[in-house]
Amino acid sequence: MTVARNTTWRPWLVFIGCCILSLVGFGLIVNTPGLYFTTLCAQLNVSRAEIAFATSIMAITGALTMLVAGRIMKLVDSRVLISVCIAAVGALFFAQSLFTQLWQFYVSFGLMGIFYVIPIALAPSVLLSNWFEDKLGTVMGIALGLSGIGGTVFNPIVSSFITNLGWRTSYRLTALILVVCILPFSMLVFKFRPDTAKGEQAFGHTISTGTAAASNDDLPGLEAKVAYKTPSFILLVIVSVLLQIVAGLVQHVSGYEVSRGLSLEQGAVVVSGIMFGAAIGKATIGILLDRVPTKLVIAGYGILGIAGWGLMSVTNVVTPATIAGVLAGTGQGVVLVALPWLIRKAFGQRDYSEILSIVSMFGAIASAVSVTLHGYIYDSTGSYVPSLLGNVALYVVAIIAAIVAFTMRPTITTAPAHTKEQ
């Protein structure tokens, strides 16, 4: 018997496609809706709170969709599923260009929450997990890291569309960019996992010549219903919830800095520092997870997050505050990249999409609640400092939970192919 490492090119097409999903899909669908609020308030004669509630509806329907999204990904051809979802989101953006009533936006954002979850929130992590056994942290970090770059790229582009071409034309161009950039990959490239019967293998997979390839049913990993009962699953849910509560404070950072004596523009610089740090954190933590002991990486990025939020609570000078923002953003690599990676390492490939979707659902609910929670704390105390110090405490607990979850992860085995009926 001879052993070789699979080096097929197809996984790298999946990687490129996932990069486009994060860059274009996340950049447009998640990062740009708020750019229309000022214009829509004037056009529809509504308050900012009324139009912003549309994004809350999107978050709620997205969180509910997470309950079944992972199972749907296993049952439906990913190429069809992702293509339908992207086409639906594109159609909703186009439809929004025709709206004249607030309730129409509520309905469309509710539907968008249902359709965007699979291609944007789940597909990059799930597809990369299935197509890469080696370099998983690296490709996941790069692909997911591009979501922040997408916001940086498309925010000024969409703002220019709105200013120079009008908001209705901007919605139509957004729909066009989405479908043109993503559909070619979704229709042709995004198979759920390699088909070993056709000789397809994940990158880095060890191929033993002279032996039959295992069927897709023999993928290593725990069944979802078994994984849900493990301490590692419970701890990773806790990590997701706590760090999404931490991330919810980002929406308040600009207001916090203004309350400390900085100008609105300086507050925006601090927020930009967080976004920049998040892009760095997502890319670098994935690379390090492939090369450095996991516990050290998790602890290191946790310390960066703790230092960032801690420093932000004691400074009211723009440069240190911006440095604090960069550190806090870098620490977000734990929840944005390391958490999906830890889920894959803890429970394997078998039901990864289902397990990831449930953990993500708890995080999504926490994210939706946390922005209001931090606002309530400010209203009650007259200060954001309790939230900042709370973030430090939440980070400590979350990092300990992540390390313990990794230490207690179940042993992953796979059944021999010949033991299953064909």
Across 298-312, b (16+ Cβ under 10 Å) vs e yields: bbbbbebbbbbbbbb
Residue 267: band (very low, low, confident or very high) from pLDDT cuts 50, 70, 90: confident
C-alpha span between 418 and 422 (Å, rounded): 8
Same fold yes or no, 3-194 and 221-407: yes
Average pLDDT, integer, range 257-282: 84
Q: Which of 363, 353, 346 is nearest to 233 (CA)?
A: 346
In the chain, where the domains are located: 3-194, 221-407
| Residue 145 pLDDT greater than 90, yes or no | no
Rounded Cα distance between 252 and 258, Å, is: 10
Residue 194 region by backbone torsions, left for phi larger than 0, else alpha for psi between -120 and 50, else beta: beta
pLDDT category of residue 314 using cuts at 50, 70 and 90: very high
Residues 6+ positions from 67 with CB-CB distance below 8 Å: 357, 358, 361
User: What pLDDT band is residue 98 in, cutting at 50, 70 and 90?
Assistant: very high
CA distance 365 to 62: 9
Q: Are 127 and 16 in contact (CB under 8 A)?
A: no
Q: State the pLDDT confidence band at 87, using cuts at 50, 70 and 90.
A: very high
**Whether the Cβ atoms of residue 19 and residue 142 lie closer than 8 Å to each other:** yes
CB 132 within 8 A of CB 209: no
Does residue 214 or residue 229 have the better pLDDT?
229
What number does CATH give the domain 221-407?
1.20.1250.20
Cα separations (Å) of 192 from 50, 123, 200, 262, 307?
Answer: 39, 9, 12, 49, 39
CA 315 vs CA 17, 309, 318: distances in Å: 42, 10, 8
pLDDT of residue 254: 79
pLDDT score for 273? 86
- pLDDT of res. 422: 26
Query: Sorting pLDDT into bands at 50, 70 and 90, what band is 416?
Result: very low
Rg of the chain, C-alpha, whole Å: 22
Instruction: Output 225-231 pairs: Cβ under 8 A, ≥24 positions apart.
Output: 227/346, 227/347, 227/351, 227/355, 227/410, 228/355, 228/358, 230/346, 230/408, 230/410, 231/404, 231/405, 231/408
265, HSE (Cβ side, Cα atoms, 13 Å): 0
10 CB neighbour count, 10 Å cutoff: 16
Backbone angles phi and psi of 207, in degrees to 5:
-100, 120
Q: Looking up tokens 């429970």, which residue turns up?
A: 347
- What is the per-residue pLDDT for 200? 75
Q: Which helix (H) or strand (E) holds 299?
A: helix 294-312
Q: Identify whether the C-beta of residue 347 lies closer than 8 Å to the C-beta of residue 233.
A: yes
- Count the residues in the chain: 422
Give residue-wise pLDDT tens across range 195-222: 777 777 877 766 554 444 444 456 778 8
CATH assignment, 3-194: 1.20.1250.20
